[in-house]
């Protein structure tokens, strides 16, 4: 088996795995979106964190669809020796790689700006819909309980929200589960906002996060190099 054939086979198998993985994520995302209760009935006893999956169903659908497209372009393009599909594969992966690098730079350099933008978007959303929108309320309840935080910045994010107006108190996580969670108790306990808490978790696990990010980046660079190698070899045929 020649070098070209070996790399071509590896390209097909690798992207077939990506395609199948993307299909699985897409299927799970659609299942959870359509019938989250049955998903929890089957898997809810396996882990206390499974519930969080139901809160990222749309994220799973988007990621699954992207992986399906990438896997199809890479696998079918290599199998059919299609220069067009291989170039499309290279372009899609390159765009994703650039977006990831840009996001990492923004996250590192403009953390304060990110917090300001999130506050401008998320805080009004919490004041308007927390306690009225069941999906958003569940997402934030799970997040606050799992991360041990309160709101995006602090308990004041929930002031005058539907929840506060109905219960005349803040969500239990804002007072470490103590009830009633009034202004005095919430101010006294001063539970950290979720943005700061998540940043702290990322800093604590910076090595793991960096390793995973570097691994993904390396795979993307390798896949682009392989696709370009096959593209150039097809030119020589």
76-92 tens-digit pLDDT: 888 888 888 889 999 99
pLDDT reading at 227 higher than 50: yes
Global pTM exceeds 0.75: no
pLDDT (0 to 100) of residue 139: 80
Q: Is the peptide bond before 212 cis (omega within 30 degrees of 0)?
A: no
User: What angle (nearest 5°) sits at the alpha carbon of residue 113, between those of residues 110 and 116?
Assistant: 155
User: What angle (nearest 5°) sits at the alpha carbon of residue 31, between those of residues 93 and 126?
Assistant: 80
Query: pLDDT higher for 229 or 38?
Result: 229
CA–CA gap between residue 158 and residue 32 (Å, rounded):
28
Please report, for the chain, the start and end positions of each structural domain, with discontinuous segments joined by +: 3-111+205-236, 130-199
- Give just the sign of the alpha carbon dihedral 144, 148, 152, 158: positive
């Amino acid at each position: 088996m020649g070098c070209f054939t070996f790399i071509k086979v590896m390209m097909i198998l690798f992207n077939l795995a990506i395609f199948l993985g993307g299909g699985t994520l897409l299927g799970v995302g659609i299942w959870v979106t359509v019938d989250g209760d049955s998903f929890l009935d089957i898997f809810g006893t396996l882990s206390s964190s499974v519930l969080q999956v139901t809160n990222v169903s749309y994220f799973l659908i988007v990621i699954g669809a992207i992986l399906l497209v990438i896997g199809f372009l890479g696998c079918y393009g290599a199998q059919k020796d299609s220069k067009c599909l291989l170039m499309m594969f290279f372009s899609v992966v390159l765009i994703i790689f650039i977006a990831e690098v840009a996001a990492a730079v923004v996250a590192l350099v403009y953390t304060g700006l990110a917090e300001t933008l999130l506050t401008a978007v998320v805080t009004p959303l919490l004041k308007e819909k927390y306690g009225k929108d069941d999906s958003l309320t569940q997402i934030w309840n799970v997040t606050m309980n799992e991360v041990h935080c309160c709101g995006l910045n602090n308990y004041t994010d929930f002031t005058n929200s539907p929840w506060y107006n109905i219960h005349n108190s803040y969500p239990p996580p804002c007072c470490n589960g103590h009830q009633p969670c009034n202004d005095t108790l919430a101010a006294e306990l001063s539970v950290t906002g979720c943005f700061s808490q998540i940043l702290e978790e990322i800093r604590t696990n910076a090595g793991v996060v960096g390793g995973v990010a570097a691994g993904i980046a390396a795979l993307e660079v390798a896949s682009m190099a392989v696709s370009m190698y096959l593209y150039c070899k097809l030119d020589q045929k």
